[in-house]
Amino acid sequence: MMKVRISATIPEDIIKKFDEICNELNYKNRSNAISQALYEFIIANKWTKQEGKIAGAILITYPHKESENLTEIQHDYNDIINASMHIHLSKEQCLEIIAVNGEAKRVRQLFKKLRGLKNILSAKIVTSAY
């Protein structure tokens, strides 16, 4: 496989943390770890262009006060939401895990609406082979 040299500007604290994890995971060098990280980024975001049906989970971390808005949005997508789990991380923060199964376009719409809520701390989607 042909390799391409790239250059990137990354904040020092991030590269230090990255290097620490690379050492812990026994990567031969930073280039191998970056290549693997880029590949995983591609795989993790493949759903953004996928057509047809997909299944997976949406994970949202948010302040508890945002619960009502989150629930309201979910009610508009009950055709693709199979289940959800609400977890209290602390008195102020919650984690919502939403199982989805349906048309990729509809899942993307739901994810974008959830991620677009004002106080969302983290939003991720994990898709499964279908």
Weakest-pLDDT range from 26-30, 63-67, 92-96, 104-108: 63-67
Alpha-carbon distance of 110 to 125, in angstroms, equals 11
Burial of 46 (0-12, 13-18, 19+ CB in 10 A): exposed
Give the pLDDT score at 129: 59
* Domain residue extents for the chain: 12-44, 51-128
CATH topology of domain 51-128: Alpha-Beta Plaits (3.30.70)
Give the pLDDT score at 130: 60
Amino acid (1-letter code) at residue 13: D
Give the pLDDT score at 67: 74
Q: What pLDDT digit, counting tens, does each position of 44-71 carry?
A: 777 777 788 889 999 999 998 877 888 8
Contact in structure between 80 and 39 (CB atoms under 8 Å): no
> What mean pLDDT comes out for the span 6-26?
94
